[in-house]
């Protein structure tokens, strides 16, 4: 899962949006450095990542990648899952438009930024102003996101080519997402994530 899905699942679970978004920027045990609700959100994010990686649908999605891109498939798929969530937001969250959800999430996270890790502050500078969570619905933007990651981290150069795997398997990936994401939502609502 990527930014939008983590925020959405956190919201469904009444968990900290800050902790769930910030988790990838926190190493080790966050218990002493962050309030209890943020810490719980960080741990929820980590559990979601572990659970998602073990799902049969996600394993099937990874199998569709070519050998030269399979190593980066978890990253490419995380971004792609956000694409499908953004694209089908009205089906998954019919009572709140995506633009309103994004504004609410930004408002919840903004007060914490002054004390947050520098990389997280940088992410937030672009995430909200460039409307990433809404633009994820556009596959051209997904290609741009993958290319940007590949440019910033040479170890992830294969993400440029992973676009082809996503494009070629688009319909199958969409079906897989629509199978497993409602299950994740149900677990979030029952506070089982």
Q: Is the pLDDT of residue 142 over 90?
A: yes
CA distances from 28 to 24, 25, 38, 114 (A): 11, 10, 14, 21
- Per-chain mean pLDDT for the chain: 97
Question: What's the pLDDT score for residue 21?
Answer: 98
Q: Is the pLDDT of residue 183 over 90?
A: yes
CA-CA distance, 103 to 8, in Å (whole number)? Answer: 13
CA-CA distance, 107 to 189, in Å (whole number)? Answer: 22
Question: What's the pLDDT score for residue 120?
Answer: 97
- CB distance 94 to 160 below 8 Å: no
- Enclosing domain of residue 139: 3-189
Q: Please compute the mean of the pLDDT values over residues 174-187 and round it to a whole number.
A: 98
Q: Is the pLDDT of residue 58 over 90?
A: yes
Q: How many domains does the chain have?
A: 1
Q: List pLDDT tens digits, range 108-137.
A: 999 999 999 999 999 999 999 999 999 999
Q: Please compute the mean of the pLDDT values over residues 135-140 and round it to a whole number.
A: 97
Question: What's the pLDDT score for residue 1?
Answer: 87
């Amino acid at each position: 899962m990527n930014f939008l899905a983590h925020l959405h699942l956190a919201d469904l679970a009444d968990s900290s949006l800050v902790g769930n978004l910030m988790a990838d920027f926190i190493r080790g045990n966050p218990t002493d450095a962050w309030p209890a609700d943020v810490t719980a959100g960080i741990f929820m994010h980590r559990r979601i990542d572990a659970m998602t990686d073990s799902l049969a649908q996600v394993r099937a999605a990874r199998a569709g990648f070519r050998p030269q891109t399979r190593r980066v498939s978890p990253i490419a798929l995380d971004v792609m899952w956000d694409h499908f969530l953004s694209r089908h937001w009205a089906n998954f969250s019919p009572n709140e438009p995506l633009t309103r959800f994004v504004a609410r999430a930004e408002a919840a996270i903004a007060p914490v930024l002054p004390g947050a890790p520098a990389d997280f502050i940088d992410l937030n500078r672009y995430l909200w102003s460039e409307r990433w969570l809404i633009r994820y619905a556009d596959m051209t933007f997904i290609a741009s996101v993958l290319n940007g990651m590949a440019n910033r981290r040479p170890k992830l150069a294969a993400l440029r080519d992973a676009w082809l795997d996503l494009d070629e398997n688009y319909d199958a990936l969409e079906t897989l997402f629509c199978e497993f994401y409602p299950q994740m939502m149900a677990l979030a609502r029952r506070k089982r994530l």
